[in-house]
A and B are shown apart, each in its own frame.
Chain A
Amino acid sequence: MKFGIIVFPGSNCDADCYHVIKEVMNQPVEYIWHKENTVAGFDALILPGGFSYGDYLRTGAIARFSPIMPAVIDFAEQGGLVIGICNGFQILLEAGLLPGAMLRNRSLKFICKPVFLKVNRADTPFTNHMKVDQVVRIPVAHGEGNYFCDQNTLQSLKDNGQIIFTYCSEDGQELPEFNPNGSLANIAGICNIKGNVLGMMPHPERCSEEILGGRDGFYIFDSMINWLEEVGK
């Protein structure tokens, strides 16, 4: 069950992800520098948070053309598990692996705080150790997490069950006042139609151990490992 963490110039959550996979989940993990051109031998890929290429032009716009990306896209198209967290989500959007785009937060502020998320599906590779309608507490840390797409795309996200996480209150109400950044339909995380690619703004790697004040993020990585073990059988 080997995890690969793609490291772009400006990634800054790569070491946190590495720590969680290696020390908390006890799985083999390696960094993959963005100048590599293969992901052969890996079972799952993590695109970590940060400010790849300084977020120049648009978040994720330049990282999307890194030498490693054709291999990441190919891996995703073959059904490989890919999770993009924060800047990783932005890169997946720019790469077209997920639909939509990110705008500046409605408040124009960089928001760094724990938020509550509702889990909308528990049958995906990323949420199979969670429950439908479960509320989890995971921190966000971003300036551009205001998810946007056109109405047709939003409808197809809903119809295909691609909205995996939505911002909500502690008791699970998905109201605008619990939306930190203005994202459409309180979207915090979406997957592709096949379900093997997930993008999310909150940072599960920052809350996978009790010492960090909560371990709800643990269940996302745990779900991925469980799914890989099931599929591997």
Chain B
Amino acid sequence: MFKANIFVTLKNGVLDPQGEAVKKSLKVLDYGQVEEVRIGKYIEVWLEGGDRDSALKELEEMSDRLLANPVIEDYRVEIVEVE
């Protein structure tokens, strides 16, 4: 079985109002060194069967079609074999 960790993040240049609000809050907490905060999504997917290459291909297709929106988001897939 494979486990995938998928990180979906906003593209550079896309406004992140949540990240901005969290940044302000960190400043209020006196973390003056904070320059920027960007918030994304972390998605875990478990897959049964197939080999690593086919699993990766499948996960990229899932990300392109549903998990990420290519207009505003990038994604990165990590894959590990699990028991």
Binds B, one of A33-41, A103-111, A121-129: A103-111
| Assembly CA distance A106 to B20 (angstroms) | 9
Pair A103/B15 contact, Cβ less than 8 Å = yes
Pair B14/A148 contact, Cβ less than 8 Å = yes
- B17 an interface residue at 8 Å Cβ cutoff? yes
Known contacts A57-B66, A57-B67, A65-B66; is-contact A101 B72 (Cβ 8 Å) = yes
CB contacts under 8 Å to A, within B24-83, are 66-67, 69, 71-72
- B1 an interface residue at 8 Å Cβ cutoff? no
| Assembly CA distance A103 to B18 (angstroms) | 10
Known contacts A148-B71, A148-B72, A149-B71; is-contact A103 B66 (Cβ 8 Å) = no
| Assembly CA distance A62 to B66 (angstroms) | 8
Pair B15/A146 contact, Cβ less than 8 Å = yes
Interface size class of A (residues with CB under 8 A): 20 to 34
The interface size of chain B toward A, counting residues with CB under 8 Å, comes to 11
Known contacts A57-B66, A61-B66, A65-B66; is-contact A107 B72 (Cβ 8 Å) = no
Pair A106/B72 contact, Cβ less than 8 Å = no
**B16 partner residues in chain A, CB cutoff 8 A:** 103
Pair A106/B17 contact, Cβ less than 8 Å = yes
Residue of A nearest to B69 (CB): A101
Pair B18/A108 contact, Cβ less than 8 Å = yes
- A8 CB to nearest B CB, Å: 16
**A94 partner residues in chain B, CB cutoff 8 A:** 69
- B11 CB to nearest A CB, Å: 9
Q: Mark B8-22, 1 if CB is under 8 A from A, else 0.
A: 000000111110010
| Assembly CA distance A103 to B19 (angstroms) | 12
- A199 an interface residue at 8 Å Cβ cutoff? no
- A100 an interface residue at 8 Å Cβ cutoff? yes
Pair A108/B66 contact, Cβ less than 8 Å = no
- A137 CB to nearest B CB, Å: 26
Pair A148/B69 contact, Cβ less than 8 Å = no
A-side residues, CB < 8 A to B, are 57-58, 61-62, 65, 93-94, 99-101, 103-108, 146, 148-150, 182
B-side residues, CB < 8 A to A, are 14-18, 21, 66-67, 69, 71-72
